[in-house]
Structures are given as structure tokens and as C-alpha cells.
Amino acid sequence: GVAANLENYLKYDSETIEDLMCNGLKIIQDKNAYRFAIDSVLLANFVKAKPKDRIIDLGTGSGVIALLLSAKTQAQEIVGLELEHEAAERAKRSVEMNGLKERVVIVEGDLKNATQIFGRENFSVVVSNPPYMRVEEGKISPDAAIAMARHEVTATLSDVVKAAAELLRFGGRFFMVYRTLRLADALWEMKNKALEPKTIRFIHPKTGSSPNLFLVMAQKGAGPGVEVLPPLVVYNDDGSYTEEILTIYGKVEN
């Protein structure tokens, strides 16, 4: 169960406890660090997994996807891998605070070394919300942890897809959220590693606007053929969340 005095899990004055609005889950966030955004929530909601699935989230950050998957799936083993020490340590405290140590394990390490850490083909589901920006584009944050989360400073798209391909057993599935600007790169990288894109869903800020992000599921060793799902629209014209987003956030009854 969740400990009564949640403040005991906070280590720094800049830390806060936020409600994930899903099965009572809470997460520790740091005002000075990279904070998770809606893309992670949408990715967690897109993932399908069964009780026997073994899941790994590459670059779990503060652990938001790993925590949400504990509620949104029945998977009994969920691993979050994170390179940045402070984020990994914060994620570990969030797991403890939610009483999830039996199911969710946070490992501090580099996804480029994932197979050395976990061995090959030991997972049936790999999930990732990788950094979207190439190093040569956009201003890189002077804060190392934020830079790592946003820019490919420590891991490129290619690194993430390679790790997923090596960690997945045959028939296993890779779920990712990424930006549409790099759609062709993403699909090429996956196909190049025998991860066949099977399902794509575009995320549109508003109806009538172009998508800026997409969700993709690729299956290891599957035959070709991709299904594009209906678009996921985030905001109504008045700036409020759409019904589907509210459902995902758990604010309206399903």
C-alpha cells in the first residue's frame, strides 16, 4: 500500500508529488528537472500487454510510463531503464511510494548497454519515449538532465531502436511515441532491425491541424502491413481537452 506520509519520499526542496490521475498513482517530480508531458501518458495508454508480458521502458526518466503501465496493464514485471542518476533515483522513490516494488524495477544504466545488463531477447514488450531532437537542431539545455531528455545527447533514435530489437524476443512488440518530422527515419530504423511497423496513430493538437507526434507499434519478425488508426486529437477548439484525452487521463468514466 501507499505510505501514509508521502513527504518522507521527498529528498529535495524542489521536489513535489503529483497525482497521475490513474488508480491513485502518484509521482515525484522536480521543478528543476525535465518533467514528463502528455506524450508519455498517451504512449502508456497505447501499450497493450498481458499478465505474462515482461516490459522494459527505455529512458524511463522519472518513471512515469513504468508507473502508468502498472495500472494500465496486468504485466507482472516492468523494468524502467534510466541513465541519468537523479532521475533514476527519483523514479525508484516513486515506485516505493506507490507500493509497487514487487512489479516495477528501476535500473540505472545506459540503453546502449541494455543487452549487457539484461541479456538478449528477454522481453516481450519494449516501450520508449526517446529524445525527439537531433543534436544539431534547437537550443540544447545547459542543464544536462533536461538536455538528455530532449536531445539525442546520450542516445539517438537508432540507439533506441537497436536496443529494442536486441531486447525483444521473436514476436515481441515495440511501442514508441515520436515526432512526425522524423516519421520516415523512425520507420526506416525499425524495418532495418526487423521490427515491422504494424500500427500507427497520429496525434493532432487540434482537429484540422497537422499531426506533430505519432504512436507506433512494431513487431519483431512480423510480415509487412501497417494499420493506421483514426487520429488522436488532444485539444478542442476552445483549448479544453477532448473527450478521448479526458478518458485517458481518467477524468471521465469510461
Q: Which pTM does this prediction carry?
A: 0.93
The candidate with the shortest Cα–Cα distance to 17, out of 94, 82, 70, 84, is: 94
Residue-level pLDDT at 254 = 36
Task: Supply the mean pLDDT for the chain.
Answer: 91
Cα–Cα distances (Å) from 121 to 11, 82, 164, in that order, read: 36, 19, 9
Of 11, 37, 18, give the one whose Cα is nearest residue 92: 11
- Are 35 and 63 in contact, with CB atoms under 8 Å apart? no
Residue whose C-alpha cell reads 537531433 in the numeric block: 134
The amino acid at residue 123 is F
Q: What is the pLDDT of residue 253?
A: 45
Residue 49's pLDDT band (boundaries 50, 70, 90)? very high
User: What is the structure's pLDDT at 251?
Assistant: 64
Which band of pLDDT confidence, cut at 50, 70 and 90, is reported for residue 8? confident
Q: Are 231 and 211 in contact (CB under 8 A)?
A: yes
Which grid cell is 188?
Answer: 526506416
Mean pLDDT in residue range 210-227:
97
The answer to whether residue 153 scores a pLDDT higher than 80 is no
Span 70-86, average pLDDT: 95
Q: What is the mean pLDDT of residues 91-107?
A: 96
| Percent of the chain clearing pLDDT 70 (strictly above) | 94
146 has pLDDT over 60: yes
pLDDT tens by residue, 100-117: 999 999 999 999 999 999
Quick one: pLDDT at residue 89?
A: 96
Please choose, from the candidates 109, 53, 55, 52, the residue with its C-alpha nearest in 3D space to the C-alpha of residue 78. Answer: 55
Q: Is 55 left (phi over 0), alpha (psi -120 to 50) or beta?
A: beta
Q: Decide which of 151 and 183 is more confident.
A: 183
Banded model confidence at residue 32, pLDDT cuts 50, 70, 90: confident
pLDDT over threshold 70, residue 152:
no
